[in-house]
Amino acid sequence: MSTLRTGGCLCGQVRFTVRGEMRPIIACHCVQCRKATGNFVTATSAPRGAIDITGEVTWFRSSEVARRGFCGTCGSQLFWDGPGVNLSVMAGALDGATGLTLAGHIYCADAPDWYVIADGLPQAPKADDTMTTQVRA
């Protein structure tokens, strides 16, 4: 028996399901995440093949190596598609209880000056592959 999670955007135009394990949630405090969302991002991830998407995702090429997926109708940020086997999924797009926990913070050096990260979890100044590419087996 495998875990099945569902999610979608605010207006419901985009819906998705994720089969199996998802990576612990990581908060990203980089400038791109801040500009795209107005805040920091919390995201989990799963292998691309485990994620089925219905509806139309609008993709913005945010850097040479990544694109950000959102709903073109309501603007909800949904996915981050970059290097690696996993597709990142915005934690807030998941429905209901996720069973996932926040495991750490990346790009802390770029965090804005209006909040303090004080939850005691690991903080990386920039990217940290040990936090973002793992999938809990």
Residues of this chain that interact with Zn ion (CB under 5 A) are: 9, 11, 13, 28, 30, 33, 71, 73-74
Q: How far is the CB of 81 from Zn ion (least distance, A)?
A: 13
Q: How far is the CB of 105 from Zn ion (least distance, A)?
A: 10
- Which C-beta is closer to Zn ion: that of 3 or that of 109? 109
- Which C-beta is closer to Zn ion: that of 20 or that of 134? 134
How many angstroms separate the Cα of 78 from the Cα of each of 2, 52, 115, 119?
A: 23, 13, 23, 25
Element (H, E) at 32: helix 31-37
- Which C-beta is closer to Zn ion: that of 48 or that of 126? 126
Cα maximum dimension of the chain: 45
Q: How far is the CB of 26 from Zn ion (least distance, A)?
A: 9
Which two three-digit tokens encode residue 103?
Answer: 């495991």
Q: How far is the CB of 99 from Zn ion (least distance, A)?
A: 23
Q: How far is the CB of 30 from Zn ion (least distance, A)?
A: 3
- Amino acid, single-letter form, for residue 56: E
Question: What's the rounded Cα separation, in Å, for the pair 105 and 125?
Answer: 8
- Which C-beta is closer to Zn ion: that of 49 or that of 56? 56
- Which C-beta is closer to Zn ion: that of 4 or that of 127? 127
How many angstroms separate the Cα of 104 from the Cα of each of 28, 50, 83, 84?
A: 9, 24, 20, 19
